Chain A
Amino acid sequence: MALYSEKVMDHFRNPRNVGVIEDANGIGEVGNAKCGDIMKMYLKIEDDIVQDVKFETFGCGSAIASSSMATELIKGKPVSEVAQLTNKAVAEALDGLPAYKMHCSVLAEEAIQSALADYYSKKEATAE
Protein backbone atom coordinates (compact mmCIF):
# COMPACT_ATOMS: atom_id res chain seq x y z
CA MET A 1 0.00 0.00 0.00
CA ALA A 2 1.20 3.47 -0.80
CA LEU A 3 1.54 6.14 1.83
CA TYR A 4 -0.90 8.43 0.02
CA SER A 5 -4.01 8.01 -2.13
CA GLU A 6 -3.72 8.57 -5.88
CA LYS A 7 -5.65 11.82 -5.49
CA VAL A 8 -3.13 13.11 -2.97
CA MET A 9 -0.25 12.15 -5.24
CA ASP A 10 -1.96 13.79 -8.22
CA HIS A 11 -2.40 17.08 -6.37
CA PHE A 12 1.10 16.80 -4.95
CA ARG A 13 2.71 16.16 -8.33
CA ASN A 14 0.57 18.67 -10.22
CA PRO A 15 -0.52 21.24 -7.68
CA ARG A 16 -3.33 23.51 -8.92
CA ASN A 17 -3.32 27.26 -8.38
CA VAL A 18 0.30 27.56 -7.32
CA GLY A 19 1.77 31.02 -7.01
CA VAL A 20 1.02 34.54 -5.93
CA ILE A 21 -1.80 37.00 -6.67
CA GLU A 22 -0.17 40.42 -6.82
CA ASP A 23 -3.39 42.33 -6.15
CA ALA A 24 -4.89 39.88 -3.67
CA ASN A 25 -7.35 41.43 -1.24
CA GLY A 26 -7.09 38.64 1.32
CA ILE A 27 -3.83 36.97 2.37
CA GLY A 28 -3.40 34.38 5.09
CA GLU A 29 -0.29 32.58 6.31
CA VAL A 30 -0.38 29.80 8.90
CA GLY A 31 1.94 27.23 10.40
CA ASN A 32 5.57 27.75 11.26
CA ALA A 33 8.88 26.37 10.20
CA LYS A 34 9.26 24.74 13.60
CA CYS A 35 6.47 22.25 13.00
CA GLY A 36 7.44 21.78 9.40
CA ASP A 37 4.49 23.08 7.36
CA ILE A 38 3.74 26.65 6.29
CA MET A 39 0.93 27.70 3.97
CA LYS A 40 0.19 31.04 2.42
CA MET A 41 -3.13 31.67 0.66
CA TYR A 42 -3.87 34.58 -1.65
CA LEU A 43 -7.53 35.43 -2.38
CA LYS A 44 -8.97 37.81 -4.95
CA ILE A 45 -12.55 38.41 -3.89
CA GLU A 46 -15.04 40.41 -5.96
CA ASP A 47 -18.77 40.69 -5.42
CA ASP A 48 -18.43 38.27 -2.51
CA ILE A 49 -17.12 35.60 -4.85
CA VAL A 50 -13.60 34.08 -4.73
CA GLN A 51 -12.62 35.03 -8.27
CA ASP A 52 -9.08 33.77 -7.92
CA VAL A 53 -7.00 31.91 -5.37
CA LYS A 54 -3.33 30.94 -5.28
CA PHE A 55 -1.10 29.31 -2.71
CA GLU A 56 2.49 28.85 -1.66
CA THR A 57 3.43 26.00 0.64
CA PHE A 58 6.52 24.84 2.47
CA GLY A 59 5.67 21.37 3.65
CA CYS A 60 5.22 17.69 3.14
CA GLY A 61 3.33 15.94 0.36
CA SER A 62 0.12 16.06 2.32
CA ALA A 63 0.50 19.79 3.01
CA ILE A 64 1.04 20.60 -0.66
CA ALA A 65 -1.83 18.37 -1.78
CA SER A 66 -4.17 19.81 0.88
CA SER A 67 -3.35 23.37 -0.21
CA SER A 68 -3.96 22.50 -3.82
CA MET A 69 -7.24 20.73 -3.14
CA ALA A 70 -8.47 23.51 -0.85
CA THR A 71 -7.92 26.10 -3.60
CA GLU A 72 -9.95 23.98 -6.02
CA LEU A 73 -12.77 23.65 -3.50
CA ILE A 74 -13.13 27.39 -2.99
CA LYS A 75 -12.39 28.86 -6.40
CA GLY A 76 -15.50 30.57 -7.82
CA LYS A 77 -17.45 30.03 -4.60
CA PRO A 78 -19.27 32.71 -2.60
CA VAL A 79 -17.42 33.76 0.56
CA SER A 80 -20.32 32.55 2.71
CA GLU A 81 -19.64 29.04 1.44
CA VAL A 82 -15.86 29.39 1.70
CA ALA A 83 -16.22 30.32 5.35
CA GLN A 84 -17.77 26.87 5.94
CA LEU A 85 -14.84 24.93 4.47
CA THR A 86 -13.50 22.35 6.90
CA ASN A 87 -10.33 20.30 6.92
CA LYS A 88 -12.51 17.22 6.83
CA ALA A 89 -13.91 18.29 3.47
CA VAL A 90 -10.37 18.83 2.16
CA ALA A 91 -9.23 15.43 3.40
CA GLU A 92 -12.31 13.69 2.00
CA ALA A 93 -11.87 15.32 -1.38
CA LEU A 94 -8.36 13.85 -1.36
CA ASP A 95 -9.75 10.36 -0.67
CA GLY A 96 -8.38 10.54 2.85
CA LEU A 97 -5.05 11.23 4.53
CA PRO A 98 -3.02 9.08 6.93
CA ALA A 99 -4.12 9.86 10.52
CA TYR A 100 -0.84 11.54 11.49
CA LYS A 101 -1.11 13.79 8.42
CA MET A 102 -4.52 15.24 9.24
CA HIS A 103 -2.88 18.31 10.78
CA CYS A 104 -1.69 19.31 7.29
CA SER A 105 -5.31 19.54 6.08
CA VAL A 106 -6.16 21.56 9.20
CA LEU A 107 -3.53 24.04 8.06
CA ALA A 108 -5.24 24.38 4.67
CA GLU A 109 -8.53 25.22 6.36
CA GLU A 110 -6.79 27.66 8.68
CA ALA A 111 -4.91 29.35 5.84
CA ILE A 112 -8.14 30.02 4.00
CA GLN A 113 -9.96 31.24 7.10
CA SER A 114 -7.01 33.49 7.88
CA ALA A 115 -7.09 34.92 4.33
CA LEU A 116 -10.84 35.52 4.66
CA ALA A 117 -10.34 37.27 7.98
CA ASP A 118 -7.69 39.46 6.34
CA TYR A 119 -10.15 40.29 3.56
CA TYR A 120 -12.86 41.32 6.04
CA SER A 121 -10.51 43.39 8.16
CA LYS A 122 -9.22 45.21 5.07
CA LYS A 123 -12.76 45.77 3.88
CA GLU A 124 -13.71 47.22 7.25
CA ALA A 125 -10.67 49.47 7.22
CA THR A 126 -11.57 50.92 3.80
CA ALA A 127 -15.25 51.32 4.81
CA GLU A 128 -14.27 53.50 7.78
Chain B
Amino acid sequence: MIYADNAATTKMSEAAINTMLNVMKESYGNPSSLYGIGQHAKEILEEARVKIASVIGADPGEITFTSGGSEADNQAIVSAAELGRKKGKMHIISTAIEHHAVLHTLEKLKKEGFDITLLDVHENGIVRPEEVEAAIRDDTCLVTIMYANNEIGTIQPIREIGAICRSRNVLFHTDAVQAIAHIPVNVKDDNIDMLSSSAHKYHGPKGVGFLYAKKGIRLTNIIEGGAQERGKRAGTENVPGIAAMAEALQEADTHMAENAAHMAAMRDKLIAGLREIPHAALNGDAEHRLPGNVNFCFEGIEGESLLLLLDDKGIQASSGSACTSGSLDPSHVLLAIGRVHDVAHGSLRLSIGEEITEEEVDYIIKSVKDVVGYLRSFSPVWRDLCAGKTPFIL
Protein backbone atom coordinates (compact mmCIF):
# COMPACT_ATOMS: atom_id res chain seq x y z
CA MET B 1 0.00 0.00 0.00
CA ILE B 2 1.24 3.47 -0.87
CA TYR B 3 -0.59 6.07 1.15
CA ALA B 4 -0.41 9.28 -0.88
CA ASP B 5 -3.13 11.29 0.81
CA ASN B 6 -1.14 12.91 3.60
CA ALA B 7 -2.82 16.26 2.99
CA ALA B 8 -6.10 14.63 4.08
CA THR B 9 -4.54 13.17 7.17
CA THR B 10 -1.37 11.40 8.27
CA LYS B 11 -0.55 8.19 10.05
CA MET B 12 0.30 8.84 13.69
CA SER B 13 3.97 8.53 14.58
CA GLU B 14 5.08 5.87 17.07
CA ALA B 15 6.26 8.58 19.43
CA ALA B 16 2.89 10.33 19.31
CA ILE B 17 1.00 7.08 19.89
CA ASN B 18 3.21 6.17 22.84
CA THR B 19 2.85 9.61 24.36
CA MET B 20 -0.90 9.43 24.01
CA LEU B 21 -1.09 5.96 25.54
CA ASN B 22 1.12 6.93 28.45
CA VAL B 23 -0.93 10.00 29.25
CA MET B 24 -4.16 8.03 29.02
CA LYS B 25 -2.87 5.31 31.30
CA GLU B 26 -0.82 7.26 33.79
CA SER B 27 -2.07 10.82 33.79
CA TYR B 28 -5.80 10.64 33.57
CA GLY B 29 -6.50 13.42 36.03
CA ASN B 30 -8.39 16.57 35.17
CA PRO B 31 -5.95 19.48 34.79
CA SER B 32 -8.38 21.68 36.70
CA SER B 33 -8.28 19.43 39.80
CA LEU B 34 -6.06 20.43 42.67
CA TYR B 35 -4.80 17.02 43.78
CA GLY B 36 -1.66 15.34 42.53
CA ILE B 37 -2.81 13.52 39.40
CA GLY B 38 -4.83 16.54 38.31
CA GLN B 39 -1.85 18.81 38.70
CA HIS B 40 0.30 16.27 36.91
CA ALA B 41 -2.05 16.43 33.93
CA LYS B 42 -1.83 20.21 34.15
CA GLU B 43 1.97 19.95 33.95
CA ILE B 44 1.74 17.78 30.86
CA LEU B 45 -0.56 20.32 29.30
CA GLU B 46 1.75 23.21 30.03
CA GLU B 47 4.81 21.32 28.84
CA ALA B 48 3.04 20.71 25.55
CA ARG B 49 2.25 24.41 25.30
CA VAL B 50 5.89 25.33 25.86
CA LYS B 51 7.09 22.82 23.23
CA ILE B 52 4.62 24.01 20.64
CA ALA B 53 5.28 27.68 21.31
CA SER B 54 9.01 27.20 20.94
CA VAL B 55 8.66 25.46 17.56
CA ILE B 56 6.76 28.41 16.04
CA GLY B 57 8.56 31.21 17.89
CA ALA B 58 5.66 32.13 20.17
CA ASP B 59 5.22 32.56 23.92
CA PRO B 60 3.36 29.72 25.66
CA GLY B 61 0.64 32.14 26.77
CA GLU B 62 -0.14 32.83 23.12
CA ILE B 63 -1.22 29.25 22.39
CA THR B 64 -4.86 28.15 22.79
CA PHE B 65 -5.65 24.48 22.35
CA THR B 66 -8.62 23.67 20.11
CA SER B 67 -10.36 20.68 18.60
CA GLY B 68 -8.42 21.13 15.36
CA GLY B 69 -7.75 23.40 12.44
CA SER B 70 -11.38 24.22 11.73
CA GLU B 71 -12.05 25.48 15.24
CA ALA B 72 -8.85 27.52 15.26
CA ASP B 73 -9.81 29.13 11.94
CA ASN B 74 -13.30 29.90 13.21
CA GLN B 75 -12.08 31.41 16.45
CA ALA B 76 -9.35 33.50 14.84
CA ILE B 77 -11.68 35.01 12.27
CA VAL B 78 -14.60 35.57 14.61
CA SER B 79 -12.30 37.19 17.16
CA ALA B 80 -10.82 39.61 14.63
CA ALA B 81 -14.30 40.36 13.31
CA GLU B 82 -15.58 41.18 16.81
CA LEU B 83 -12.64 43.50 17.43
CA GLY B 84 -13.32 45.15 14.10
CA ARG B 85 -17.04 45.49 14.65
CA LYS B 86 -16.44 47.44 17.85
CA LYS B 87 -14.40 49.98 15.89
CA GLY B 88 -16.78 50.07 12.96
CA LYS B 89 -14.27 48.21 10.80
CA MET B 90 -16.17 45.57 8.92
CA HIS B 91 -14.02 44.66 5.94
CA ILE B 92 -12.08 41.39 5.67
CA ILE B 93 -9.60 40.34 3.00
CA SER B 94 -8.97 36.70 2.11
CA THR B 95 -8.44 34.53 -0.97
CA ALA B 96 -10.63 32.38 -3.17
CA ILE B 97 -8.64 29.22 -2.34
CA GLU B 98 -9.01 29.08 1.45
CA HIS B 99 -10.24 25.97 3.23
CA HIS B 100 -13.98 25.87 3.87
CA ALA B 101 -13.33 26.41 7.58
CA VAL B 102 -12.29 29.92 6.56
CA LEU B 103 -14.62 30.50 3.61
CA HIS B 104 -17.78 29.39 5.41
CA THR B 105 -16.91 31.49 8.45
CA LEU B 106 -16.48 34.49 6.16
CA GLU B 107 -19.83 33.75 4.50
CA LYS B 108 -21.47 33.78 7.90
CA LEU B 109 -19.89 37.14 8.69
CA LYS B 110 -21.02 38.48 5.33
CA LYS B 111 -24.61 37.77 6.37
CA GLU B 112 -23.91 39.81 9.50
CA GLY B 113 -22.93 42.78 7.38
CA PHE B 114 -19.20 42.31 6.86
CA ASP B 115 -17.74 43.14 3.48
CA ILE B 116 -15.50 40.35 2.20
CA THR B 117 -12.85 40.72 -0.50
CA LEU B 118 -11.54 37.44 -1.92
CA LEU B 119 -8.29 38.04 -3.73
CA ASP B 120 -7.43 36.33 -6.99
CA VAL B 121 -4.62 33.79 -6.81
CA HIS B 122 -3.86 33.87 -10.53
CA GLU B 123 -2.89 30.86 -12.62
CA ASN B 124 -0.06 29.80 -10.36
CA GLY B 125 -2.24 29.75 -7.24
CA ILE B 126 -0.30 32.49 -5.47
CA VAL B 127 -1.53 35.78 -4.05
CA ARG B 128 0.35 38.93 -5.01
CA PRO B 129 1.37 41.01 -1.97
CA GLU B 130 0.81 44.25 -3.86
CA GLU B 131 -2.80 43.19 -4.40
CA VAL B 132 -3.19 42.62 -0.67
CA GLU B 133 -1.79 46.09 -0.07
CA ALA B 134 -4.15 47.61 -2.62
CA ALA B 135 -7.16 45.87 -1.11
CA ILE B 136 -6.60 47.19 2.41
CA ARG B 137 -9.04 49.97 3.34
CA ASP B 138 -9.53 52.17 6.37
CA ASP B 139 -12.24 49.82 7.57
CA THR B 140 -10.26 46.57 7.05
CA CYS B 141 -10.12 44.62 10.31
CA LEU B 142 -8.51 41.38 9.12
CA VAL B 143 -6.44 39.80 6.39
CA THR B 144 -6.65 35.99 6.46
CA ILE B 145 -4.55 34.09 3.94
CA MET B 146 -3.53 30.46 4.18
CA TYR B 147 0.16 29.64 4.48
CA ALA B 148 -0.02 26.71 2.07
CA ASN B 149 -2.93 25.35 0.10
CA ASN B 150 -4.28 21.89 0.92
CA GLU B 151 -5.13 20.97 -2.67
CA ILE B 152 -2.47 22.43 -4.92
CA GLY B 153 0.22 22.92 -2.28
CA THR B 154 1.11 26.49 -3.22
CA ILE B 155 2.97 28.46 -0.56
CA GLN B 156 1.94 32.08 -0.16
CA PRO B 157 4.34 35.00 0.42
CA ILE B 158 3.26 35.12 4.06
CA ARG B 159 6.18 37.13 5.41
CA GLU B 160 5.64 39.92 2.89
CA ILE B 161 1.89 39.95 3.42
CA GLY B 162 2.44 40.01 7.18
CA ALA B 163 4.78 42.98 6.85
CA ILE B 164 2.20 44.87 4.81
CA CYS B 165 -0.49 44.17 7.41
CA ARG B 166 1.81 45.33 10.20
CA SER B 167 2.58 48.56 8.43
CA ARG B 168 -1.11 49.17 7.75
CA ASN B 169 -2.10 48.20 11.28
CA VAL B 170 -4.42 45.38 10.19
CA LEU B 171 -4.62 42.00 11.96
CA PHE B 172 -3.17 39.13 9.97
CA HIS B 173 -4.29 35.51 10.39
CA THR B 174 -2.91 32.54 8.49
CA ASP B 175 -4.31 29.04 8.24
CA ALA B 176 -1.03 27.16 8.54
CA VAL B 177 -2.63 23.71 8.82
CA GLN B 178 -0.75 22.38 5.78
CA ALA B 179 2.46 24.29 6.43
CA ILE B 180 3.33 23.68 10.08
CA ALA B 181 5.88 20.88 10.52
CA HIS B 182 6.44 20.68 6.75
CA ILE B 183 8.11 24.02 5.99
CA PRO B 184 9.68 26.54 8.39
CA VAL B 185 7.05 28.71 10.05
CA ASN B 186 7.91 31.33 12.66
CA VAL B 187 5.28 33.76 13.81
CA LYS B 188 7.80 36.47 14.62
CA ASP B 189 9.87 36.27 11.43
CA ASP B 190 6.73 35.90 9.36
CA ASN B 191 4.85 38.85 10.94
CA ILE B 192 1.89 36.66 11.89
CA ASP B 193 -0.73 37.83 14.41
CA MET B 194 -2.85 34.67 14.45
CA LEU B 195 -2.21 31.18 13.16
CA SER B 196 -4.16 27.91 12.98
CA SER B 197 -2.67 24.42 13.18
CA SER B 198 -3.99 20.87 13.27
CA ALA B 199 -2.14 17.88 14.73
CA HIS B 200 -3.37 15.22 12.32
CA LYS B 201 -1.52 16.81 9.41
CA TYR B 202 1.85 16.09 11.03
CA HIS B 203 1.48 12.58 12.43
CA GLY B 204 -0.40 13.66 15.53
CA PRO B 205 -3.94 12.63 16.49
CA LYS B 206 -7.15 13.84 14.89
CA GLY B 207 -9.47 16.26 16.65
CA VAL B 208 -6.79 18.40 18.24
CA GLY B 209 -5.05 21.59 17.14
CA PHE B 210 -4.10 25.01 18.35
CA LEU B 211 -4.58 28.68 17.71
CA TYR B 212 -1.72 31.10 18.13
CA ALA B 213 -2.86 34.64 18.91
CA LYS B 214 -0.29 37.34 19.55
CA LYS B 215 -0.32 38.74 23.05
CA GLY B 216 -2.87 41.52 23.39
CA ILE B 217 -5.35 40.13 20.85
CA ARG B 218 -8.59 39.52 22.67
CA LEU B 219 -10.13 36.21 21.62
CA THR B 220 -13.87 35.65 21.36
CA ASN B 221 -15.16 32.37 22.75
CA ILE B 222 -16.61 29.89 20.33
CA ILE B 223 -17.32 27.40 23.11
CA GLU B 224 -18.69 28.74 26.41
CA GLY B 225 -18.34 26.99 29.73
CA GLY B 226 -15.51 26.52 32.21
CA ALA B 227 -12.40 28.63 32.61
CA GLN B 228 -9.99 26.40 30.69
CA GLU B 229 -7.52 28.04 28.29
CA ARG B 230 -7.55 31.37 30.17
CA GLY B 231 -11.32 31.42 29.81
CA LYS B 232 -11.08 31.49 26.02
CA ARG B 233 -11.95 27.90 25.22
CA ALA B 234 -14.15 25.97 27.61
CA GLY B 235 -14.11 22.21 28.05
CA THR B 236 -11.83 19.75 29.82
CA GLU B 237 -8.65 19.70 27.80
CA ASN B 238 -7.83 16.78 25.49
CA VAL B 239 -4.66 16.12 27.47
CA PRO B 240 -3.57 12.90 25.68
CA GLY B 241 -4.20 14.48 22.29
CA ILE B 242 -2.45 17.70 23.17
CA ALA B 243 0.60 15.89 24.57
CA ALA B 244 0.77 13.74 21.44
CA MET B 245 0.42 16.81 19.21
CA ALA B 246 3.38 18.47 20.93
CA GLU B 247 5.42 15.30 20.57
CA ALA B 248 4.54 14.93 16.89
CA LEU B 249 5.28 18.57 16.16
CA GLN B 250 8.63 18.49 17.87
CA GLU B 251 9.57 15.28 16.08
CA ALA B 252 8.58 16.66 12.69
CA ASP B 253 10.34 19.93 13.38
CA THR B 254 13.57 18.18 14.33
CA HIS B 255 13.66 16.27 11.02
CA MET B 256 12.10 18.93 8.83
CA ALA B 257 15.08 19.80 6.67
CA GLU B 258 16.02 16.22 5.74
CA ASN B 259 12.38 15.15 5.27
CA ALA B 260 11.57 18.15 3.09
CA ALA B 261 14.64 17.60 0.91
CA HIS B 262 13.74 13.95 0.30
CA MET B 263 10.06 14.64 -0.32
CA ALA B 264 10.76 17.53 -2.67
CA ALA B 265 13.06 15.29 -4.72
CA MET B 266 10.38 12.59 -4.87
CA ARG B 267 7.73 15.20 -5.68
CA ASP B 268 9.76 16.55 -8.59
CA LYS B 269 10.35 13.04 -9.91
CA LEU B 270 6.61 12.39 -9.76
CA ILE B 271 5.84 15.65 -11.52
CA ALA B 272 8.37 14.92 -14.26
CA GLY B 273 6.93 11.43 -14.75
CA LEU B 274 3.31 12.54 -14.87
CA ARG B 275 4.17 15.36 -17.27
CA GLU B 276 4.89 12.65 -19.85
CA ILE B 277 1.16 11.93 -20.01
CA PRO B 278 -0.24 13.86 -22.98
CA HIS B 279 -2.80 16.60 -22.31
CA ALA B 280 -2.05 16.78 -18.62
CA ALA B 281 -0.99 19.77 -16.56
CA LEU B 282 0.41 20.46 -13.13
CA ASN B 283 -1.88 22.55 -10.93
CA GLY B 284 -0.22 25.30 -8.94
CA ASP B 285 3.25 26.78 -8.99
CA ALA B 286 6.03 24.20 -9.42
CA GLU B 287 8.50 26.00 -7.20
CA HIS B 288 6.59 27.65 -4.35
CA ARG B 289 5.05 24.39 -3.39
CA LEU B 290 4.82 22.07 -0.37
CA PRO B 291 7.47 19.35 -0.57
CA GLY B 292 4.84 16.59 -0.57
CA ASN B 293 2.24 17.96 -2.96
CA VAL B 294 1.58 16.88 -6.54
CA ASN B 295 -1.65 17.89 -8.26
CA PHE B 296 -2.47 17.25 -11.90
CA CYS B 297 -5.40 17.59 -14.27
CA PHE B 298 -5.80 14.97 -16.98
CA GLU B 299 -8.05 15.87 -19.85
CA GLY B 300 -10.81 13.46 -20.90
CA ILE B 301 -11.21 11.52 -17.65
CA GLU B 302 -13.05 11.89 -14.36
CA GLY B 303 -11.25 11.91 -11.02
CA GLU B 304 -13.30 9.51 -8.93
CA SER B 305 -12.89 6.57 -11.28
CA LEU B 306 -9.18 7.36 -11.39
CA LEU B 307 -9.02 7.21 -7.58
CA LEU B 308 -10.93 3.94 -7.37
CA LEU B 309 -8.67 2.23 -9.90
CA LEU B 310 -5.55 3.56 -8.19
CA ASP B 311 -6.91 2.22 -4.91
CA ASP B 312 -7.19 -1.18 -6.61
CA LYS B 313 -3.48 -0.85 -7.36
CA GLY B 314 -2.77 -0.05 -3.72
CA ILE B 315 -2.38 3.71 -4.09
CA GLN B 316 -4.51 6.06 -2.00
CA ALA B 317 -4.93 9.56 -3.39
CA SER B 318 -7.58 12.24 -3.73
CA SER B 319 -9.29 14.36 -6.37
CA GLY B 320 -11.09 17.67 -6.72
CA SER B 321 -13.76 16.16 -8.96
CA ALA B 322 -17.39 16.91 -8.21
CA CYS B 323 -18.23 13.25 -7.94
CA THR B 324 -15.84 12.83 -5.01
CA SER B 325 -17.29 15.76 -3.11
CA GLY B 326 -20.99 15.03 -3.32
CA SER B 327 -21.67 18.38 -4.97
CA LEU B 328 -22.03 19.14 -8.65
CA ASP B 329 -19.10 21.52 -8.67
CA PRO B 330 -15.48 20.53 -8.81
CA SER B 331 -12.95 21.99 -6.38
CA HIS B 332 -13.20 25.74 -5.81
CA VAL B 333 -9.41 25.85 -5.74
CA LEU B 334 -9.03 24.42 -9.24
CA LEU B 335 -11.72 26.76 -10.55
CA ALA B 336 -9.93 29.70 -8.87
CA ILE B 337 -6.69 28.99 -10.76
CA GLY B 338 -8.65 29.02 -14.00
CA ARG B 339 -9.26 25.35 -14.67
CA VAL B 340 -12.60 25.00 -16.43
CA HIS B 341 -15.12 22.46 -15.12
CA ASP B 342 -14.39 19.91 -17.86
CA VAL B 343 -10.74 19.73 -16.86
CA ALA B 344 -11.16 20.23 -13.12
CA HIS B 345 -13.17 16.99 -12.90
CA GLY B 346 -10.10 15.07 -14.01
CA SER B 347 -7.81 16.09 -11.18
CA LEU B 348 -5.54 13.98 -9.03
CA ARG B 349 -3.82 15.02 -5.81
CA LEU B 350 -0.95 12.91 -4.54
CA SER B 351 0.33 14.09 -1.17
CA ILE B 352 3.32 11.92 -0.38
CA GLY B 353 4.79 11.19 3.02
CA GLU B 354 8.33 11.23 4.39
CA GLU B 355 8.78 7.51 3.91
CA ILE B 356 8.10 7.41 0.18
CA THR B 357 10.76 5.59 -1.84
CA GLU B 358 11.98 6.04 -5.37
CA GLU B 359 10.56 2.63 -6.34
CA GLU B 360 7.15 3.69 -5.05
CA VAL B 361 7.32 6.87 -7.09
CA ASP B 362 8.09 4.81 -10.21
CA TYR B 363 5.16 2.55 -9.41
CA ILE B 364 2.81 5.50 -8.94
CA ILE B 365 3.87 7.04 -12.25
CA LYS B 366 3.34 3.77 -14.11
CA SER B 367 -0.01 3.15 -12.42
CA VAL B 368 -1.35 6.63 -13.15
CA LYS B 369 -0.24 6.36 -16.78
CA ASP B 370 -1.98 2.99 -17.13
CA VAL B 371 -5.22 4.08 -15.47
CA VAL B 372 -5.45 7.39 -17.34
CA GLY B 373 -4.87 5.54 -20.62
CA TYR B 374 -7.47 2.93 -19.77
CA LEU B 375 -10.16 5.46 -18.76
CA ARG B 376 -9.47 7.51 -21.87
CA SER B 377 -9.95 4.38 -24.01
CA PHE B 378 -13.71 4.49 -23.43
CA SER B 379 -14.28 8.16 -22.69
CA PRO B 380 -16.60 9.90 -25.15
CA VAL B 381 -14.96 13.19 -24.15
CA TRP B 382 -11.52 11.90 -25.07
CA ARG B 383 -12.88 10.54 -28.36
CA ASP B 384 -14.28 13.96 -29.31
CA LEU B 385 -11.02 15.64 -28.35
CA CYS B 386 -8.96 13.24 -30.44
CA ALA B 387 -11.40 13.53 -33.36
CA GLY B 388 -10.97 17.30 -33.27
CA LYS B 389 -14.66 17.82 -32.49
CA THR B 390 -13.74 19.77 -29.39
CA PRO B 391 -10.44 21.54 -28.87
CA PHE B 392 -7.93 20.32 -26.31
CA ILE B 393 -7.61 22.64 -23.35
CA LEU B 394 -4.46 21.17 -21.85
Give me the interface of A with B, judged by CB distance under 8 Å.
Answer: 9, 12-13, 15, 18-19, 29, 33-40, 55-64, 100-101, 104
Contacts and interface: CB of A to CB of B under 8 A. Distances in A.
Q: Interface on chain A toward B: helix, strand, loop, or mixed SS?
A: mixed
B171 to A, nearest CB: 38
B299 to A, nearest CB: 10
B97 interface: no
A22 B312 CA distance: 32
A39 B378 CA distance: 10
B321 to A, nearest CB: 6
B378 A59 contact: no
Interface of B: 300-305, 308-309, 312, 321-324, 326, 328, 330, 341-342, 345, 378-383
B378 A19 contact: yes
Nearest to B381: A58
Contacts of A18: 378
A61 B319 CA distance: 13
18 contacts: A9-B308, A13-B312, A15-B378, A33-B342, A36-B330, A36-B345, A38-B381, A40-B380, A57-B379, A58-B300, A58-B302, A58-B382, A59-B305, A59-B323, A60-B302, A61-B304, A63-B323, A100-B326
A33 B340 CA distance: 10
A58 B301 contact: yes
Contacts of B322: 35-36
Q: Which 10 pairs of residues, A with B, have the shortest CB-CB distance? A: A60-B323, A33-B342, A60-B304, A40-B380, A58-B381, A58-B379, A56-B380, A36-B322, A34-B341, A36-B345
B341 A37 contact: no
Contacts of B321: 36, 60
Given A33-B341, A33-B345, A34-B341, A56 B379 contact: yes
Given A36-B321, A61-B308, 13 more contacts: A12-B308, A13-B309, A18-B378, A19-B378, A33-B342, A35-B328, A36-B330, A38-B380, A56-B379, A58-B379, A60-B305, A100-B326, A101-B323
Contacts of A60: 302-305, 321, 323-324
Contacts of B342: 33-34
Nearest to B379: A58
A29 B379 CA distance: 12
Contacts of B303: 60
B204 to A, nearest CB: 27
Given A12-B308, A33-B341, A63 B379 contact: no
A54 B328 CA distance: 27
B296 to A, nearest CB: 17
Contacts of A101: 323
Nearest to A59: B302
A67 to B, nearest CB: 9
